[in-house]
Amino acid sequence: MPKTPSLHRTARAWLLDGPLAALVPAYIARLKRGHYACGTVNRSLAALAHFAHWMSLCRLRADQLDESRVDQFLHGHLPHCGCASHAMRRPREAHATLMPLLAMLRQQGVIAELPLSAGPIAEELHRYDAHMRNARGLADGTRKSRLRIVERLLLHKFAGGPLALGELRPEDIRRFIAEQLELCNTTGNAAAINAALRAYLRWRTSCGDAVQPLLATITAPANWALASLPRSLNPEEVERVLNSFTSTLRSPKRGYAVVRLALDLGLRIGEICRLRLDDIDWQQGTVTLKRTKSRRQDVLPLPMVTGKALEDYVRHERPASRNRAVFVRHVAPHDEPVGTDAIRRVVRDAFGRAGIPHGRSHSLRHTLACRLVNGGSSIKEVADVLRHRSLNTSLIYAKLNHGALAAVALPWPGSPA
C-alpha cells in the first residue's frame, strides 16, 4: 500500500484487515491513473476505510455490496456514526468514493451488473430505440430526447398496467401535451414533443397498430421558417473574443484553439470533443471528421491560423496523456477527453469576458457562414462548409447577404433615392 501520510493508522488497519483489503491496490491504482491530488487520494481512502469498517460491523462481504448498501451507509450510518473521531463522515465525498468501488466490483465480476429496466414500457422503449438507431440512423442525443418524451407519454397512460396502445385516445394525447407545455412552454419544446410523438406513432402504425388517427391530434406549433436572423458576431466582437484568452487564465491555449475550430471550420461542439490527434494530417493540412452529426466522414482543410493554435496547445499546454483525444481533461480524472459541457463553458466564458450577452457556441458557426456569404460565397458553398445535408438549412444565411440584399432593396418611400 502506498504512503498516505494523513491517513490515520486505525483507518489503515480498517483497509488492510477489512473485507475490502483485496480491492485496495486496484482502487489506489485507479486513483493514480487519474492523477488525483494527494489530498483527494487521502480523503478517498479515508472514506473507503470507514465504509470497510462499517462492513465489518455489519458482517458484509464484498460480493454483497450494491447501491442499497451504499445508501444504507450514507443515510443510515453516517448521520448517527459512533466510530472513531478520525473517521471520514462527509456524505458527498463518501458517495464519490463508493460509486467507483461498485463499478470496479462489477468490472471484476464480484457483484452482478445492474439489472436492465424491466416491464412492458421498458421493452417497448428498447425496441423503439433499436428502430431509431438501425432503421433511421438517428444520433444518440436525438434518440435519448425522443425516448424521454415517449416514456413520459406511456407512463402517463399505462403506468402500472399493460401496454395497450389501442386504448390511446385523442384526449390522452392532448392532455399529455398540455401538461408538458405547462412545464416548459416554448416553441422549441413544443416542436420537440410534436416530432417525438409523431415519429413514435408512425412507427407503431407500421407495426400494425391502429393509431394513425391520433396523428391528426398532434398539431405543429406556430413557427415561421426563416423568420429569425442567426445570431453572429461582427468583426470587432470576434476580435474581443479571441483576445480574451490571456495568460491569466488556467488554459488559454486550449480555449483559443476551441474557438478557432468553431470560428474557422464551423465545427459543432460535439465534433470538437470527439476530435482525435489521428484525425489531423499536419503535412497535408487537413482535418478528418469521422463522427459527425450526419454520420459521414468529412475531410476539411486546416487553415494555417487554426493549425498554429492547435499546435500551440498540443505542444505547450496539453497534459501528457495516453488518450488520443485532442482536448483532454486538465484536472482529475486525467487521461479522459473533455465533455461537451466543458467546451460550451469555454465559449460562454469567453463571450462573457468580451462583454457579449448573447453568447452561445453556435454563434461562432453562424459567424463563419455570414462571413462566407458576405464574401461572395454561394449558399451551396456555405452548405458544403457547414456540412448541411439540405440547402434549405443554409437558406437562412441569404438574409445576411448585405451586398445582394442592397442590390434588390427598393427605395424608402419619400427618400430621394
C-alpha cell at 216: 391528426
Residue range 221-244: mean pLDDT, rounded: 82
pLDDT above 70 covers a percentage of the chain that reads 90
Per-residue pLDDT at 402: 62
Q: Which of 134-148, 192-206, 366-380 has the lowest mean pLDDT?
A: 366-380
Q: Which of 253, 183, 256, 173 lies closest to 212 in space, CA to CA?
A: 173
Residue range 37-43: mean pLDDT, rounded: 89
- The verdict on 396 and 255 lying in the same domain is yes
User: Considering the chain, what is the average pLDDT of its residues?
Assistant: 87
* 124 within some domain: yes
Structural domain boundaries, residue 142: 120-217
- The verdict on 295 and 205 lying in the same domain is no
Asked if residue 189 has pLDDT above 50, the reply is: yes
- What does the alpha-carbon distance between residue 187 and residue 191 come to, in Å, rounded to a whole number? 6
- The verdict on 276 and 354 lying in the same domain is yes
Residue positions counted in the chain = 417
- The verdict on 202 and 173 lying in the same domain is yes
- The verdict on 88 and 126 lying in the same domain is no
CB 52 within 8 A of CB 19: yes
* 263 within some domain: yes
Asked if residue 416 has pLDDT above 70, the reply is: no
117: pLDDT confidence band, cut at 50, 70 and 90?
Answer: low
CATH number of the domain where residue 173 is located: 1.10.150
Per-residue pLDDT at 263: 94
Residue range 109-129: mean pLDDT, rounded: 84
Backbone angles phi, psi at 127, to 5 degrees: -65, -40
Q: Which of 218, 207, 323 lies closest to 275 in space, CA to CA?
A: 323
Per-residue pLDDT at 141: 82
Asked if residue 403 has pLDDT above 80, the reply is: no
Entry pTM = 0.72
Last residue of a domain, one of 107, 133, 155: 107
Select the more confidently predicted residue: 17 or 119. 17
Asked if residue 290 has pLDDT above 90, the reply is: no
Strands (E), 225-361: 280-281, 286-289, 298-301
46: pLDDT confidence band, cut at 50, 70 and 90?
Answer: very high
- What does the alpha-carbon distance between residue 16 and residue 143 come to, in Å, rounded to a whole number? 46
In angstroms, what CA-CA distances link 112 with 11, 210, 371? Answer: 28, 41, 55
Asked if residue 317 has pLDDT above 50, the reply is: yes
* 41 within some domain: yes
CB 395 within 8 A of CB 379: yes
Per-residue pLDDT of 145-159, as tens digits, reads 999 999 999 998 888
Determine how β-strand 280-281 pairs with β-strand 298-301: unpaired
CATH number of the domain where residue 326 is located: 1.10.443.10
Per-residue pLDDT of 16-31, as tens digits, reads 899 999 999 999 998 8
- What does the alpha-carbon distance between residue 270 and residue 318 come to, in Å, rounded to a whole number? 19
DSSP state for residue 389 in the 8-state scheme: S
Residue range 207-228: mean pLDDT, rounded: 81
97: pLDDT confidence band, cut at 50, 70 and 90?
Answer: very high
- The verdict on 99 and 157 lying in the same domain is no
- The verdict on 243 and 348 lying in the same domain is yes
- The verdict on 293 and 382 lying in the same domain is yes
- The verdict on 211 and 245 lying in the same domain is no
* 210 within some domain: yes
* 349 within some domain: yes
Per-residue pLDDT at 1: 45
Residue range 390-416: mean pLDDT, rounded: 68
Strands (E), 262-375: 280-281, 286-289, 298-301
Q: What residues contact residue 348 under an 8 Å CB cut-off, 6+ apart?
A: 359, 360, 361
Q: Which of 36-45, 126-135, 368-377 has the lowest mean pLDDT?
A: 368-377
Per-residue pLDDT at 352: 92
239: pLDDT confidence band, cut at 50, 70 and 90?
Answer: very high
Q: Which of 100-109, 170-179, 224-233 has the lowest mean pLDDT?
A: 224-233
Backbone angles phi, psi at 328, to 5 degrees: -115, 165
52: pLDDT confidence band, cut at 50, 70 and 90?
Answer: very high
Per-residue pLDDT at 4: 47
Number of folded domains that form the chain: 3
- The verdict on 173 and 288 lying in the same domain is no
Residue range 224-240: mean pLDDT, rounded: 80
Per-residue pLDDT at 409: 62
Give the chain's end-to-end CA distance (angstroms, integer).
86
Asked if residue 116 has pLDDT above 70, the reply is: no
Whether the ω angle into residue 5 lies within 30 degrees of 0, i.e. cis, is: no
Per-residue pLDDT at 5: 47
- The verdict on 156 and 262 lying in the same domain is no
C-alpha cell at 7: 491517513
- The verdict on 187 and 163 lying in the same domain is yes
